[in-house]
Chains A and B, each alone.
Chain A
Amino acid sequence: MAERQDDPLGFVLSHESAGAVDGPGLRHVVFLSGCQMRCRYCHNPESWQAGHGARVSAREVLSKIAGLAHFYRQGGGLTLSGGEPLMQADFCHALALGAKAMGLHVALDTNGELHGRVPDSFFDPIDMLLLDIKHADPAGHRELTGRDLAPVLDCASRLSGLGKEIWVRHVVIPGRTDSREHFERLAGILQSIPSLSRVDLLPFHSMGASKWESLGMADPLAGVEAPGEEAMETGRTILRQGLPAALVV
């Protein structure tokens, strides 16, 4: 397929027409392939490799969304997710612009690290950021994801400066991100994001060895169980104390 400048091509893993956990309201979620992080609890390791999925033009994706836009105008919108959507920045930008033209609210679901690759104008058609902060400690972050924490935090402060609403998501993993100290450190980080409005603490769930096996990999968190409700509540309580203005769920 020939690529036109105003209609870039990209790789889409899948569509979720009824996303209710990726930003406010009922949303269309486009999952883009490719990710530079190697999170040990990743649910979709098949999304890591760039160039996976269907090669489609932005216009094709937008026409799919347009047919359903009616559903997304009642407090919902479009979420660009992945993989890491910033791996396909031009494609993402075209999708965000197109969705804005339909009158949709646009959210970018990112790990933030690659924000330096795009200019401020990239964020013009984007209303909010769903930022994954994987670990509150630089060394822990590197161990868990293989990448640095600093650019993630830079992204948060840059987008806050641009006035974009931010929701942070953080996965609670027993033995790694569930200690009091960890939650306190996380609260400290989050306090420095002025446009933060919500924090979702998500319990770690093992996808089971089979998914990793099918990709020819060993499950690095084999044997780790989901956190108990007590650990989740501890985390929520600490974050609520530290972040009175944000919704912590």
Chain B
Amino acid sequence: MGYIGELSVIGNQSAGLRESAWEGFSAGPWQSEIDTQDFIARNLRPWTGDESFLAGATDKTERLMGTVREVLRAERDAGGVLGASLEPSAILAHAPGFIDQENEIIFGLQTEAPLKRAIHPRGGLRVVKQALQEHGLDPLPEQVEKAFSRWTKTHNQAVFDAYPQDVLSARRAMVITGLPDAYGRGRLIGDFRRVALYGVDALERAKLADKAAIGAKDELSAEDIEALEELADQIRALGELKALGTAHGFDLARPARNAKEAFQWLYLAYLAAAKESDGAATSIGRIAGFLDIYIERDMGRGLLDEAGAQELWDQLTIKLRLIRFMRTRAFDELFSGDPTWVTISLGGMGRDGKPLCSKSDFRVLHCLSTLGPAPEPNLTILWSTELPEGFKKFVARMSIESRAIQIENDDLIRPKHGCDAAISCCVSPMAQGKSMQYFGARCNLLKTLLHAINGGRDEVSGDICAQGFEPVSGDYLEFEDVKARFEAMMKWTAKVYMKALNILHQSHDRQAYEAIQFALHDTDLHRTMACGIAGLSHVADSLSAIQYGRVRVIRDQSGLITGYANEGGAFPRYGNNDPRADDLAVWAAQAFMAELRKLKARRGAEVTQSALTITSNVVYGQYTGASPDGRVGGTPFAPGANPSNGAELNGFVAAGASVAKIPFGDCADGISWTVSFAPSSLGRMAQERVDNLSAFCDGYMGMGGYHANLNVIDRATLIDADKHPEKYPNLCVRVSGYCVLFERLTPAQRQDVISRTFHER
């Protein structure tokens, strides 16, 4: 915690500026130490009514949106990428850019022009070169190429210098994959609100004090030295943030004095993060209630009306919709459709049982109407059964209309992360500004099972991935035997996985440090090492087939088991609230987590795991052979913690009840469920659909469900959109943890979305 009041470096003048910026706010500890949560708790006005107070878009917004639509069309016409700026990105790279300055009320773009992408060669030179080539853009200037090959080492280079043989084998066999060793890890959310509330000078002083305190120790450990260097980076980045403000005509050194400044200050802090790093997720956090406090104060002073408040949110949302990063095709296969995960967390409950949803939480969702639906920002509701009905119903209505909303269980998150938690990326909860995550992508748990059966040989290539294991010898699989082999292989996989993660995050901290993001965190941080699993439903169903059916193995000429035949008839499948299958899914998640927990993660990080695949379920499936549950080799996995496509026979309540059994305690980085409902399955009248969806969310969360991507759409619409994309340019769907324009998905991803289980009646 940085104390900002006690430092001698505060001049009287800046103290005076601060007090005038805070006039009218309820006083509290937040004034003498950096504590955004305390500020919110003391000042936020919850809104318990419905959406009838909302206003439409202003003329300015309409005009700006007109230009934005043209730029977006140009981007689509150009095949998805509108061009690149070849100056390596940094907080102070690129001159200030504008969309339509006259109609913009919040300034700042990633590069000189909207949708022109920046490059981030610190992460890896090869990736940047490849992306430029794939998109048919100019190659890197020679100087840039030299700078990031001859004179410095990139993150990607450093990681591969250190990876040992077993990590390389596991990576090649696709047991462990999607690792952020060639792209930015994301998964940290700077507390951008601090910049608006305190001004950069105060934050800088707090960091200087933290650095001085470490430097004053008698002895310095390796960790201390690492921290000293990082703090220097953070302080430098804060200086650059001020300069970014100056370039746009703002004095970020001091706190924001009104709502418009608060939006601008916060956005520039966010923009600095997006310019500095190309994290797979660049989430913005829980900002609605915070900014609402400024709006309410301005309204009380007669400076702002509802239309003006909506204008601020619309214009910020436009900026967030334009965030872009340069990605390769390989990235697109893992995370399809050009997502940026500008995840914004709404709703949730406060420490005193008071709801934290403000009128601005409504306004953020209302942008889907004022600006039309779009996949970003990634609208995430921290759902509590205690939230006001008016908000729940509005969420349900907007979800049905837009398919742009996901919900996460605030009643599970709050006890662990407190009342100021936000979601990073898809499902990762963290206390904003107080914790960050070392993102570990995921391990292919189904392949781990298949390797266990094959004694460490890969069922697709036949190569030995894990040394020292024996394959199953008989013709039929015995449950206890397979379970024991699976446990042994999970141990091996976990060990190799943790080695890879420790290596790559050490490198990331050194070679691609997110200085401005960390500057907006407490110096004393809680870290998590976030592992993940893919293929959970197929593991559960495969174990169930072995236990309740009779599974014969099919070997090729070399003795490799490449197929399975179930001769025992139907077996229970995960997704029907049948404990026989569901317990196997729970067991598998817990067993792998138990192995991970035994291992040490760098910098004292707490080891966690997620059941989330993003869209990599398709690629994972492609590289994974047939499995005992009857899944055909090469076909996609069910995403996240979803039951397998078509396994759910009793409707979405039973399916949700199965998913809700996967324990949050053992999947503390989130359990993702993507559910698709035909509109008619929710009721005949619009209001019934809203009521039933809201009741369902309450029921699912009340049972301990963690996350749901809600898709209300007919399969026929998707099939038509696949054939005639031009008819549906703005069709959004939610995939595992984010929202995407359907037409931007790869053909394989589109097929996967279409072949999901649809709950229809």
**Chain A residues near B (Cβ < 8 Å):** 14-21, 25-26, 28, 64, 67-68, 70-72, 74-76, 200, 249
Q: Interface centre among A14, A16, A18, A71, by most B CB within 10 Å?
A: A18
Known: A74-B699, A75-B691. A20 touches B682 (CB 8 A): yes
Q: List 22 A-B contacts (CB under 8 A).
A: A14-B649, A15-B654, A16-B761, A17-B577, A17-B650, A17-B652, A17-B654, A18-B681, A18-B759, A19-B651, A20-B683, A21-B680, A21-B681, A26-B699, A67-B577, A70-B699, A70-B702, A70-B703, A71-B657, A72-B699, A74-B698, A76-B692
- The docked-state distance in angstroms from the alpha carbon of A16 to that of B682 is 13
- The docked-state distance in angstroms from the alpha carbon of A16 to that of B677 is 14
Beta-carbon contacts under 8 Å, B672-712 to A: 680-685, 688-689, 691-692, 695-696, 698-700, 702-703
A18 touches B651 (CB 8 A): yes
User: Does B653 sit within 8 A of A, measured CB to CB?
Assistant: yes
Known: A67-B657, A71-B696. A18 touches B652 (CB 8 A): yes
Known: A16-B650, A17-B653, A21-B684. A68 touches B577 (CB 8 A): yes
CB distance from A32 to the nearest CB of B (A): 15
CB distance from B245 to the nearest CB of A (A): 49
B333-373: CB near A (< 8 Å → 1, else 0) gives: 00000000000000000000000000000000000000000
Nearest A-chain residue to B648, judged by Cβ:
A17
CB distance from A83 to the nearest CB of B (A): 16
**B650 neighbours in A (Cβ, 8 Å):** 14-17
CB distance from A204 to the nearest CB of B (A): 15
A26 touches B695 (CB 8 A): yes
A16 touches B651 (CB 8 A): yes
- The docked-state distance in angstroms from the alpha carbon of A64 to that of B688 is 25
Beta-carbon contacts under 8 Å, B584-630 to A: none
CB distance from A235 to the nearest CB of B (A): 14
**A20 neighbours in B (Cβ, 8 Å):** 681-683, 688-689, 692, 761
- The docked-state distance in angstroms from the alpha carbon of A71 to that of B652 is 11
CB distance from B760 to the nearest CB of A (A): 11
- The docked-state distance in angstroms from the alpha carbon of A35 to that of B655 is 29
**A71 neighbours in B (Cβ, 8 Å):** 653, 657, 695-696, 699-700, 703
**A18 neighbours in B (Cβ, 8 Å):** 651-654, 681, 696, 759
CB distance from A198 to the nearest CB of B (A): 10
Known: A15-B651, A70-B703. A26 touches B692 (CB 8 A): yes
- The docked-state distance in angstroms from the alpha carbon of A240 to that of B158 is 74
Partner of B577, one of A16, A26, A64, A75: A64
Known: A26-B696, A74-B695. A19 touches B657 (CB 8 A): no
**B657 neighbours in A (Cβ, 8 Å):** 17, 67-68, 71
**B700 neighbours in A (Cβ, 8 Å):** 71
A28 touches B684 (CB 8 A): no
Give the dominant DSSP class at A's interface: mixed
Besides the known contacts A15-B650, A71-B657, A249-B685, 7 further A-B residue pairs in the complex with CB atoms under 8 A apart: A16-B651, A18-B653, A68-B653, A68-B654, A70-B703, A71-B700, A200-B684
**A75 neighbours in B (Cβ, 8 Å):** 691, 695
Number of B residues, CB within 8 Å of A: 28
**B703 neighbours in A (Cβ, 8 Å):** 70-71
Nearest A-chain residue to B685, judged by Cβ:
A249
CB distance from A44 to the nearest CB of B (A): 12
CB distance from A208 to the nearest CB of B (A): 15
- The docked-state distance in angstroms from the alpha carbon of A200 to that of B689 is 15
- The docked-state distance in angstroms from the alpha carbon of A232 to that of B287 is 47
**Chain B residues near A (Cβ < 8 Å):** 577, 649-655, 657, 680-685, 688-689, 691-692, 695-696, 698-700, 702-703, 759, 761
CB distance from A49 to the nearest CB of B (A): 21
**B698 neighbours in A (Cβ, 8 Å):** 74
- The docked-state distance in angstroms from the alpha carbon of A139 to that of B683 is 33
**B684 neighbours in A (Cβ, 8 Å):** 21, 200, 249
Nearest A-chain residue to B652, judged by Cβ:
A18
- The docked-state distance in angstroms from the alpha carbon of A217 to that of B702 is 46
- The docked-state distance in angstroms from the alpha carbon of A76 to that of B652 is 15
Nearest B-chain residue to A200, judged by Cβ:
B684
**A26 neighbours in B (Cβ, 8 Å):** 653, 692, 695-696, 699
**A76 neighbours in B (Cβ, 8 Å):** 692, 695
B695 touches A25 (CB 8 A): yes
- The docked-state distance in angstroms from the alpha carbon of A74 to that of B650 is 20
**B680 neighbours in A (Cβ, 8 Å):** 21
**B681 neighbours in A (Cβ, 8 Å):** 18, 20-21
B653 touches A28 (CB 8 A): yes
CB distance from B684 to the nearest CB of A (A): 6
CB distance from B686 to the nearest CB of A (A): 11
- The docked-state distance in angstroms from the alpha carbon of A228 to that of B519 is 63
7 pairs of A and B residues whose beta carbons are closest in the complex: A71-B699, A17-B653, A18-B651, A17-B654, A17-B651, A18-B653, A74-B695
- The docked-state distance in angstroms from the alpha carbon of A201 to that of B703 is 35
CB distance from A127 to the nearest CB of B (A): 17
**B577 neighbours in A (Cβ, 8 Å):** 17, 64, 67-68
Nearest A-chain residue to B649, judged by Cβ:
A14
CB distance from A219 to the nearest CB of B (A): 21
**B682 neighbours in A (Cβ, 8 Å):** 20
B654 touches A21 (CB 8 A): no
**A19 neighbours in B (Cβ, 8 Å):** 651, 761
CB distance from B189 to the nearest CB of A (A): 33
CB distance from B172 to the nearest CB of A (A): 43
Nearest B-chain residue to A74, judged by Cβ:
B695
- The docked-state distance in angstroms from the alpha carbon of A18 to that of B761 is 10
- The docked-state distance in angstroms from the alpha carbon of A67 to that of B395 is 27
- The docked-state distance in angstroms from the alpha carbon of A95 to that of B532 is 42
B683 touches A21 (CB 8 A): yes
**B759 neighbours in A (Cβ, 8 Å):** 18
**A68 neighbours in B (Cβ, 8 Å):** 577, 653-654, 657
Q: Interface centre among A14, A28, A68, A76, by most B CB within 10 Å?
A: A68
CB distance from B759 to the nearest CB of A (A): 6
- The docked-state distance in angstroms from the alpha carbon of A14 to that of B649 is 8
B691 touches A25 (CB 8 A): yes
CB distance from B569 to the nearest CB of A (A): 14
**B655 neighbours in A (Cβ, 8 Å):** 17
CB distance from B711 to the nearest CB of A (A): 15
CB distance from A159 to the nearest CB of B (A): 22
**B699 neighbours in A (Cβ, 8 Å):** 26, 70-72, 74
Q: Interface centre among A26, A28, A68, by most B CB within 10 Å?
A: A26
**B653 neighbours in A (Cβ, 8 Å):** 17-18, 26, 28, 68, 71
- The docked-state distance in angstroms from the alpha carbon of A249 to that of B683 is 11
- The docked-state distance in angstroms from the alpha carbon of A171 to that of B201 is 71
- The docked-state distance in angstroms from the alpha carbon of A26 to that of B695 is 7
**B695 neighbours in A (Cβ, 8 Å):** 25-26, 71, 74-76
CB distance from A27 to the nearest CB of B (A): 9
Nearest A-chain residue to B577, judged by Cβ:
A67
**B691 neighbours in A (Cβ, 8 Å):** 25, 75
- The docked-state distance in angstroms from the alpha carbon of A213 to that of B114 is 59
- The docked-state distance in angstroms from the alpha carbon of A28 to that of B655 is 13
CB distance from A138 to the nearest CB of B (A): 29
**B702 neighbours in A (Cβ, 8 Å):** 70
- The docked-state distance in angstroms from the alpha carbon of A225 to that of B556 is 53
Q: Interface centre among B651, B685, B696, B761, by most A CB within 10 Å?
A: B651
Q: Interface centre among A17, A20, A67, by most B CB within 10 Å?
A: A20
**A249 neighbours in B (Cβ, 8 Å):** 684-685
